[in-house]
Amino acid sequence: MVVGLTGGIGSGKTTIAKLFEILNCAVFYSDNVAKELYFDETIKKSVIKLLGKESYLSDKQINKEHISSKIFSDQSLLIQLNNIIHPEVIKTFKDFKIKHAGKIVIKETALLFEAKLEFEVDKIILIVANNDLRIQRVINRDNLSRDETIKKLNSQLPQEEKISKSNFVIYNDETEFVITQALKIYNQLKNA
């Protein structure tokens, strides 16, 4: 079974993914794979052509600030960048899925709905939190300004829209224990 685990920026996807990993699920971290793919020679050339050579600080480090400033102020650039990176992430995931056949495979990805990947998973878990909390988490984690964080948040589909498309919702807003919620979902998935 393949389960999509998604949520907007600052919702706590990675934290919840680690809980499922502890429960012996095979977790595919799409964002981490995407970051690694930036250094594939073909992809690197395409990124430089799209966003400029300033997109790379070195052979091992992308210029997140430059890339973010471009894609979060121009929706067409975001779409074009996704079209460069996402097909390769999908290929890598197919190999991961084969390697972990027989396990619950969790595909952790921020852009499940935005990249139209919801049809490639059997179930969807959505992580939600109120926007003020998400904004504060991102500011603290990424050392971004409030305006930069809100731009990123606004580039994703609203949580309300995602809720109606999801099989399970975990509320990561400090009002309910996320471990209890994750365990309940895990047991339902295991017994499905």
Task: Please check whether residue 136 is in contact with residue 25, taking contact to mean a CB–CB distance below 8 angstroms.
Answer: no
- pLDDT over 90 at 143, yes or no: no
Per-residue model confidence (pLDDT) at position 48: 96
How far is Cα 7 from Cα 179, in angstroms, rounded to an integer? 17
Question: What would the CATH number be for the domain defined by 2-190?
Answer: 3.40.50.300
pLDDT, tens digit, for every residue of 20-64? Answer: 999 999 999 998 999 999 999 999 999 999 999 999 999 999 998
Per-residue model confidence (pLDDT) at position 175: 86
Query: For the chain, which residues make up each domain, given as ranges?
Result: 2-190
Q: Regarding predicted confidence, which is higher, 115 or 22?
A: 22
- The 10 Å CB-count burial string (b at 16+, else e) for 137-159 is bbeeeeebeeebbebbbebbeeb
Sheet containing 2-7: order of strands: 26-29, 105-108, 2-7, 123-128, 168-171
pTM given for the model: 0.84
Instruction: Give the residue from 180, 22, 176 showing the smallest Cα distance to 106.
Output: 22
pLDDT, tens digit, for every residue of 76-88? Answer: 998 899 899 989 9
